[in-house]
Amino acid sequence: MLTVKLMGNKRLEIGEAPDPKPAPDEVLIQVKASGICGGEMHGFRGEKATGGNSGHEVAGVVADPQGHPQWAAGDEVVIFTLQGCGKCRWCRQGKDTFCKEVKIPRATHSQYTTSRATAMLKKPADISFPLAVLLGGDGLGVPMGATWKAGVKPGDITCVIGCGPVGLGMVMCQAFLGAKVIAVEPNPARRALAMKLGAWQTLDPTAVPDPAQALRDMTEGIGPEKVFEASGRQESVDLYMNATAPEGVVVIVGHGKQQLDPQRLIIKRNLTIMGNWICHPALYPRMLSFARSGLEPQRLITGVYPFMQAQTAFERCEAGLEAKAILEW
């Protein structure tokens, strides 16, 4: 099969690789659409050639059900990014996230991949393959999960720090729910995308001497009530520590080394700090319902590229020019 190979220093090659061999609990999937995740940029920028790819957000067609009676060749499927064992306490709640035997689809920027037979659903006819990638994967799962966790409602003033694909997804979901969203992001292209997805205001944190004060100035001196950290940077911690309104909520989804001073948060500000790790398959029915109730999550997909143009798609993601980009066969 053909697959994307990360060659280091922002270079990709498309080359041959052996077809994946499904484990006994897996089926063989012919990939139709594969999402590029913000988390993959590290490997793309890095110097090391990995010779493979870390695509994991995928939708496709069952190529070989491998004897699993619930599937037939040709079935169009939504595939979950996090695939639990299906038997443990967490999996039975739809929270595969915490399953000790969780699997993730591998190297999905390829012609074929594998999926656990129990971690897929039939793709509804009104959902395109690229949209199915968002609904089954972390592309929409993380933004929705974080937004619901904080209980965002109409009239809330929220703040999203970092507008990569996940941050932009949160802007879109929260604006749809009626919140006034402030998007904090140094990259002007991403700030423009945030406005397009419904942000109320944007802030370039590098253009003002005190970003926390700037956020208070935008909110009648109070600060945003619900703040979402999606950059993984220490500067963000300092920003939400200083800017979040007392009694406010902070949800951390960004990956990176950060140091917290809980004394300041807990004693003096009464903040609630939450984490949100990827997404639960249990969120899927609600996401599908949102998708059909006017959210139009496909707005988050700013680029659908033929698989052979993966280099261009990755470059544009790395430059912050895309919200969510999808490779399509």
* Strand pairing report for 180-184 and 157-161: parallel
Least Cα distance to 31 among 51, 53, 2 occurs for 2
Q: How far is the CB of 106 from Zn ion (least distance, A)?
A: 13
For residue 48, the cross-strand partners are none
Q: How far is the CB of 176 from Zn ion (least distance, A)?
A: 21
Q: Which run of H or of E encompasses 119?
A: none
The amino acid at residue 304 is: V
Question: Which of these ranges, 2-10, 85-93, 127-135, 185-193, lies near Zn ion under the rule CB under 5 A?
Answer: 85-93
Q: How far is the CB of 142 from Zn ion (least distance, A)?
A: 8
Closer residue to Zn ion, CB minimum distance, 97 or 202: 97
For residue 6, the cross-strand partners are 12
Closer residue to Zn ion, CB minimum distance, 98 or 148: 98
Site membership for Zn ion, residue 168 (CB under 5 A)? no
- The string of DSSP letters for 157-194 reads EEEEE--SHHHHHHHHHHHHTT-EEEEE-S-HHHHHHH
Closer residue to Zn ion, CB minimum distance, 91 or 173: 91
Site membership for Zn ion, residue 135 (CB under 5 A)? no
Q: How far is the CB of 137 from Zn ion (least distance, A)?
A: 6
Q: How far is the CB of 138 from Zn ion (least distance, A)?
A: 4
Which tokens belong to 132? 């199915």
The conformation of residue 123, written as its DSSP 8-state character, comes to P
Site membership for Zn ion, residue 164 (CB under 5 A)? no
Residue ranges in 20-79 that form contacts with Zn ion under rule CB under 5 A: 37
Judged by CB under 5 A, the residue of 58, 120, 123, 138 near Zn ion is: 138
CA–CA distances in Å: residue 179 to residues 151, 190, 221, 293: 11, 19, 18, 17
Question: What is d(CA 111, CA 19) in angstroms, rounded to the nearest whole number?
Answer: 8
Question: Which of these ranges, 18-26, 93-101, 177-185, 245-253, lies near Zn ion under the rule CB under 5 A?
Answer: 93-101
Q: How far is the CB of 87 from Zn ion (least distance, A)?
A: 6
Closer residue to Zn ion, CB minimum distance, 91 or 168: 91
For residue 64, the cross-strand partners are 28
Q: How far is the CB of 245 from Zn ion (least distance, A)?
A: 31
How many amino acids of this chain bind Zn ion (CB under 5 A)?
7
Least Cα distance to 78 among 127, 9, 113 occurs for 127
Judged by CB under 5 A, the residue of 99, 104, 150, 193 near Zn ion is: 99
Question: What is d(CA 187, CA 206) in angstroms, rounded to the nearest whole number?
Answer: 10
Residue ranges in 202-231 that form contacts with Zn ion under rule CB under 5 A: none
Question: What is d(CA 80, CA 100) in angstroms, rounded to the nearest whole number?
Answer: 16
Q: How far is the CB of 101 from Zn ion (least distance, A)?
A: 6
Site membership for Zn ion, residue 88 (CB under 5 A)? yes
Question: 319: which residues sit within 8 A by CB, 6+ positions away?
Answer: 189
Q: Which residues bind Zn ion (CB under 5 A)?
A: 37, 84-85, 88, 91, 99, 138
